[in-house]
Amino acid sequence: MTQGGSPRSILLATLPLAFAIGVFGTIFGAAARPLIGAGLTLAASGLIFSGVVQFATVGLLLAGSQPAALLVTAIALNLRNLLLGAVLRPRIGAPPLARAGLAWFLIDETVGLALATEGRASLILAVSGLICYLAWLMGTTLGLLGASLVGLRDLADAIFPVLFIGLAALSARRRDLAVRAVAAFFLTIVLAALWPSGRGLIPVLAALLVALP
């Protein structure tokens, strides 16, 4: 578990995550604008703040799905927040109203950081969540302004496995686990070079391979 619960240390730990989130926000903005318009795209990022739900919505709209399918998908995908909240709840000693506000910032990256960093989980969640939220909004805005989807998709393919392997490294409490996370990082790079079309599966394969021992 990494040390550091001051706002400055939380900021430094969050910046790489925020950069990755901004890239995905830009992709969402560029992809969603032709489907729902600039206003609704920005409103979606401001009111939903869930990349997995928003990208799933774009995919369903492209497939011509009905509103009921969009609603069911959003509810199903957001059920994972119950698990995230249950995992983090023992470390948050805040009143119910404050916990309800912090729930807005429950995303994979902020929860991973709060679990991996010693200090007040509520402060870590609030600071990192706000930074990631602003990065998502800024990314969406850049996408609406016409950022190139082609180059961003390539960048996202590279960032995504590194982002979650980095979270695994942060959460490692033993040296051997940290070594495995680093090994997964390099293995991902090698496999991606040898098998470019399998980038979506490669991080999973790398994680399995380093976990087997």
> Could you tell me which of 11, 53, 4, 6 has the C-alpha nearest to residue 28?
53
Say what the pLDDT of residue 47 is.
Answer: 92
Say what the pLDDT of residue 43 is.
Answer: 94
For 75, 89, 119, 126, 173, the CA distances from 3, given in Å and listed in that order, are 35, 20, 8, 17, 11
The answer as to whether 99 is a domain residue is: yes
The answer as to whether 85 is a domain residue is: yes
84, 111 Cβ separation under 8 angstroms = yes
124, 113 Cβ separation under 8 angstroms = yes
Burial track 87-121 (b if 16+ CB lie within 10 A, e otherwise): ebeeebebeeeebeebeebbbebbbbbbbbbebbb
Q: Which amino acid makes up residue 66?
A: Q
The answer as to whether 104 is a domain residue is: yes
Token representation of residue 92: 């948050």
The answer as to whether 83 is a domain residue is: yes
Say what the pLDDT of residue 131 is.
Answer: 94
**Is residue 200 packed enough to be buried (19+ CB in 10 Å), middle (13-18) or exposed (0-12)?**
exposed
Q: Tell me how many domains the chain contains.
A: 1
The answer as to whether 143 is a domain residue is: yes
Q: Which domain holds residue 38?
A: 7-147
Say what the pLDDT of residue 41 is.
Answer: 92
The answer as to whether 68 is a domain residue is: yes
The answer as to whether 197 is a domain residue is: no
Give the pTM. Answer: 0.72
pLDDT truncated to tens, each residue of the chain (213 aa)?
555 567 777 888 788 788 888 888 888 888 888 889 999 999 999 999 988 889 888 888 888 888 888 888 888 888 888 888 888 888 887 788 888 888 899 988 888 888 877 778 888 899 999 999 999 999 999 888 876 555 555 555 556 555 666 555 555 556 776 677 777 777 777 776 777 666 666 666 776 776 666
Say what the pLDDT of residue 42 is.
Answer: 93
The answer as to whether 193 is a domain residue is: no
